[in-house]
Structure 1
Amino acid sequence: MDSKQRSRPSPMLPILDLSYANDPSRHHVLLEQLHDALFNVGFLYIKNHCVSAETISNLVTKLPKLFDQPNEVKAALSKLNSPHFLGYSGFAEETTLGEKDLREQFDFASELPMIWKESSDIPVNNERARDFTKLYWRLRGPNQWPREDLVPGFKKAYTEYHDALQALSHRFVHLVEEAFGIPVGTFDDFFLPRSGNLTNRNGDYMPPQHRIKLVKYPTSADKSRGQGVGAHKDSSGWLTFLYQVGQEEGLEVVGANGDWTPAPPIEGTFVVNFGNAFEAATEGAVKATVHRVKAPASTPNPRYSIPFFQGLPLDLTVSEIRSYIPESVRKLRPKSESMKDNGAISSFLDPRWDSLGESQLRKWIRSHEDVGRKWYGDSVVNFYLQ
């Protein structure tokens, strides 16, 4: 880590320079920093990540117009229209830990067709038979797009950003594999589809659908009490890459001493953290760190953020992921640490939710109960709310 990074105000999270990956003399430095972040911190910043400023700016500049559409226009894109939980959520419509989050947001994802089938008459896949009547396959499907005449160029800007973050996430996973000391490409089966085919190169898993939230937190003049987002670990994917727009702060992370550590915007960086599935697959060795967003207190400007959640195949289980990770890595969990947070065991550690599809459906129903009841029915929702 260079002197400029060492001299930053404390407390702060590590900043990793991904350009070191292409420098033989500093590659090992990057891997050492990443190893420390994986096993001791769970959150970090990355810079020199090769996502162009233009790609980021093209999407960021669309956000005010996207959110400033009339309420009835945004409501026409409501998640209530989507069994995939994609679309618009109004202010305080999403729940974290039973409390309303003081934000509004649009949820988008990799643009993919529906594959869920209501009928049990399913043709057998020559490579791997799949039961597409399983309810979790209903999570997978197309986006609800804003009208081009109201937010010109949005779909193009979003798609370019999505593709750039998808590529970044693949590169970063390869660095994680190096930091683990396992062969580069070990996890490619989970992420890299075979060209022109729905299945990946080995035909084992359906390629994942990554998700992106476009989030607007209100100004302090709008609301000043409550949670922007309550304390949580990310359960929507493998890795999260967060772009914080502007200089408005709010993100906080639980530090090693248990105190809340601010993670303010730093120009030219993404904040990276590891999801619940990552922690569970490594038996707690890799930290999925608890974090939150405080509601605005004194800012005259709204806060925008863009988290990208690197998806995993819905027909994958945490147990299967764990089989790819050497026991030597899984044993790196500090003996003093528990797999519990505030008395709540991660849902991924409950054998009922070993299936990623099941755990994802549970997550979305618990966050948006109204959408769940409309598309999945009361009995399904009541089951997942237990």
Structure 2
Amino acid sequence: MEDTNGYIQMIDFSAYSLGTTDIDEAGVEALSEKLMHSFTTSGFAYLKNTGISTEEVTTVFDIADQFYSLPVEVKQKYRRNETDFHERHGWVCMEGENLGKLDGLDRPADLKEAFNFKPPLTGGDSWPSEVPDFEETIMDFFNKCHDLAKRLLELVARGLGTEPADFLDMFKNIGKGRNSSHLRSIHYPPVPEVIKENQMRCGEHTDFGCMTLLFQDNDGLEVAKADGEFVAAPPIPGTVVINIADTLQRWSADKVVSTKHRVVLPYTPETRGTSRRSVTFFTHPDFDAVMTCLDGSNKYPPVRAEDYVASRLRKMYL
């Protein structure tokens, strides 16, 4: 295990990378232990050698750029339905979210736009016809992220001492319905000359699913330490950033930790003129999964995954 900045660890995922069929059980067990060390301390880790290539990530960035470059009136056709409190497919306009609200902060809305990809599409949802190969490219990457997330969840289940097959059964509807898991592209444009007081690219928050996979191309991500100090989590070529989210912290009876993070504005005039791109895969249990503390402690009362996610979304949009 390599130490990247004194807080977030770099972990080699070769023992269980995508495409690996000759599995070394000892190597997988050691990998589970390394992951659990990170997830019970910082809640974050960098993974290298996952089986998802830099070229694949760049392809997704580039095709998303084609969508974001469209006129606003065209993008508006694909705006996400926000009339209910589920993660939904579609575009989110600039300043259309305020993640600081999740942490009770009174900040202006975030300087970003995004597109959620949540298969299967439901009534009124569609893929942008103006961008050739959009659906195929995104779905290929969605499936790769899904496969990696399943391997990570299996390793976490091992580390928490629960039966991996039973735990993974709570995620069987990813990409099929009755599950909030989704892929999200985020575009942070160059910072305008005039912004609102205390405005950020993305306010500090914790994620509210189980686990997040993050691919990023420029600086800005910062992660909170236990004392509240934020440290940079810069992009490292060939890696994916993994973090634990609220649902899994609760489910594990606080064995693993969901850590605050944010995306800050560039610090220099030169870098304020640059954009930032990220692609995230948010992993959730099925709607009907009842989350009872995995260690049997009953530290938190049981709750349906659908109800828990809805309660978090209400805080962000109301």
Q: State which structure, 1 or 2, has the greater radius of gyration over its C-alpha atoms.
A: 1
What's 2:311 paired with? 362
List aligned pairs for 1:195-274, cutoff 5 A. 208-221=179-192, 226-235=199-208, 237-244=209-216, 246=217, 248-274=218-244
| Residues 81 and 362 of structure 1: CA distance in aligned 2, closer, same or farther (over 3 Å) | closer
Residues 253, 295 of structure 2: 8 Å contact kept:
no
My pick for the range that moved more, 150-159 or 11-20, is 11-20
Taking the aligned partners of 1:256 and 1:81, their CA distance within structure 2 comes to: 34
Taking the aligned partners of 1:251 and 1:283, their CA distance within structure 2 comes to: 27
Cα drift, residue 112 of structure 1: 4.5
Cα drift, residue 357 of structure 1: 1.6
TM, length-normalised to structure 2 = 0.84
Residues 7, 42 of structure 2: 8 Å contact kept:
no
In angstroms, what is the RMSD of aligned CA positions? 2.7
Residues 211, 310 of structure 1: 8 Å contact kept:
yes
| Residues 318 and 81 of structure 1: CA distance in aligned 2, closer, same or farther (over 3 Å) | closer
Cα drift, residue 251 of structure 1: 0.8
Residues 93, 368 of structure 1: 8 Å contact kept:
no
How far does the alpha carbon of each residue in 1:79-111 deviate from its partner, in whole angstroms, 9 at most, with x for none? Answer: 247755431121111122153111111122122
Tell me the secondary structure at the aligned position of residue 140 of structure 2.
helix
Cα drift, residue 273 of structure 1: 0.8
Residues 53, 238 of structure 2: 8 Å contact kept:
no
Larger relative contact order (C-alpha < 8 A, sep ≥ 6)?
Answer: 2
| Residues 75 and 296 of structure 1: CA distance in aligned 2, closer, same or farther (over 3 Å) | farther
Amino acid at match of 2:67: L
Tell me the secondary structure at the aligned position of residue 33 of structure 2.
helix
Taking the aligned partners of 1:191 and 1:311, their CA distance within structure 2 comes to: 7
Cα drift, residue 183 of structure 1: 3.1
Residues 173, 286 of structure 2: 8 Å contact kept:
no
What's 2:163 paired with? 183
Unaligned runs of 5+ in 1: 115-141, 199-205, 332-348, 370-386
How far does the alpha carbon of each residue in 1:326-383 deviate from its partner, in whole angstroms, 9 at most, with x for none? Answer: 348x99xxxxxxxxxxxxxxxxx6x6x93322232233343334xxxxxxxxxxxxxx
Cα drift, residue 54 of structure 1: 4.1
Amino-acid identity (%): 26
- Equivalent residues, number: 298
Amino acid at match of 2:313: W
How far does the alpha carbon of each residue in 1:181-221 deviate from its partner, in whole angstroms, 9 at most, with x for none? Answer: 33332312112359xxx7xxxxxxx7524212211112134
What's 1:318 paired with? 291
Residues 211, 308 of structure 1: 8 Å contact kept:
yes
Taking the aligned partners of 1:286 and 1:241, their CA distance within structure 2 comes to: 16
List aligned pairs for 1:265-284, cutoff 5 A. 265-284=235-254
| Residues 250 and 219 of structure 1: CA distance in aligned 2, closer, same or farther (over 3 Å) | same
What's 2:80 paired with? 79
Amino acid at match of 1:192: K
What's 2:20 paired with? none
| Residues 146 and 81 of structure 1: CA distance in aligned 2, closer, same or farther (over 3 Å) | farther
Residues 41, 289 of structure 1: 8 Å contact kept:
yes
Taking the aligned partners of 2:173 and 2:258, their CA distance within structure 1 comes to: 26
TM, length-normalised to structure 1 = 0.70
Unaligned runs of 5+ in 2: 17-22
